[in-house]
């Protein structure tokens, strides 16, 4: 039983680990900063796309008017996928490649 548990835990760790982005002339600190910048840009861009021109209908993004205590909008897998693709685009545009 413990062997099966170990295999499951290793599979979860492998699935949860983020891919590392590499660029020949970038230090690890610079790569981390660029990664965070791209994550922020992608989240903002995905929020704007989800909301459209006049603001988000479900409370996404900087133009939402959620009252304090209001429940968060439901999970949107399309927005999450869009955000991941935008993040990958940003990192590749900066010259990084996945390890």
Four-residue CA torsion sign, 94, 87, 40, 97 = negative
Residue 8 belongs to some domain of the structure = no
Q: Say yes or no to pLDDT of 88 above 90.
A: yes
CA angle 64, 42, 96 (to 5 degrees): 170
Number of domains in the chain: 1
Tokens of 76: 């949107």
Residue 6 belongs to some domain of the structure = no
Residue 12 belongs to some domain of the structure = no
Residue 3 belongs to some domain of the structure = no
Alpha-carbon Rg for the chain in angstroms: 18
Q: What is the pLDDT of residues 53-77, one digit of tens each?
A: 444 555 555 545 554 544 445 566 7
* Total-model pTM: 0.60
């Amino acid at each position: 039983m413990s062997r099966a548990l170990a295999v499951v835990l290793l599979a979860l760790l492998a699935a949860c680990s983020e891919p590392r982005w590499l660029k020949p002339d970038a230090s690890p600190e610079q790569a981390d900063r660029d990664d965070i910048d791209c994550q922020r840009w992608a989240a903002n861009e995905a929020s704007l796309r989800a909301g459209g021109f006049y603001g988000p209908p479900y409370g996404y993004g900087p133009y939402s008017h959620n009252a304090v205590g209001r429940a968060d909008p439901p999970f949107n897998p399309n927005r999450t996928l869009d955000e991941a693709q935008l993040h990958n685009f940003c990192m590749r545009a900066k010259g990084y490649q996945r390890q």
